[in-house]
Amino acid sequence: MFVPQLRWDRADLGFYRLLTGSHFQSVLQDIINLEKTKDVHPDDIDSIYSRLVNILRVCSDNAVPACHKILKYSWDQEMDELKRRSMDSCQVWKAVGGPRSGSLFDKYRRDKVAYRNGIRNRQRSEMQMYTNDLHEALMQKQGTAFWKCWNAKFGKDKSDITIVDGVSDVNTIVSHSVAHFSKVCTNSTVGGSERLKSAYNDVRRNYCGQMIDDSYLIDAELVERVTSSMKRGKAAGLDNITSGHFQFSHPLL
């Protein structure tokens, strides 16, 4: 299943925050009721998790636009360095109160302009590169080269893989995959497996773990600090949730 890329930079963040906050109220009340019971079943935890994930997905569908293909310009180490300098100088400038003149302000402006110019130059270079390649392919009547360049830039519908090792039946392909990975993940020898299990049990017998103190406690402040530092733009997990879902949601989460 294809998961579109959410454009949090184009989202109605206020609306998303409002939606998540209103939906989280019912979940919060159920959690409070669940804490009052002494017998908490794992299915109850799974139900709460599923509801939270569903709320985040539904709210993002209503407030965050999705892009099925992002045409990105070339990004290299130089752009990473320009971005880092711009962010560092901006943080220093803000830390001293954001003055409108002086050496720190000048450095902040220079780094910001350099970063923006780097982005624009690479955007122009990429467009020029594809334009030249398409033009050359047309002039030389190279149909294959033209469509290869076109598809690399604008994408094309990719057909699903229907044949694996000469087999086209879906159930047979699944059976072969199961047999393959079952063999790969099976113990090579019974003796070797028992030897490893025995060594593990010997170590486990005297294992007591580390001492737990207040530094191991997890609270809402810690979770919020960690999630806010997560980088956006990464691929979603199996639940289609990204870091942006947490960072822009209502703090009630």
Task: For 202-247, give the DSSP string.
Answer: HHHHT---PPP-GGG---HHHHHHHHHTSPSSPPP-TT---HHHHH
Residue ranges covered by each domain of the chain: 1-69+221-253, 70-154
Instruction: Enter the tokens of residue 214.
Output: 């207040």
Indicate the range of 45-59, 63-77, 98-112 predicted with least confidence: 63-77
Q: What is the mean pLDDT of the chain?
A: 83
Cα–Cα distance for residue pair 85/134, rounded to 1 Å? 36
The pLDDT of residue 1? 40
The pLDDT of residue 114? 92
- Which has the higher per-residue pLDDT, 127 or 140? 140
- Which has the higher per-residue pLDDT, 200 or 144? 200
Mean pLDDT of 53-82: 80
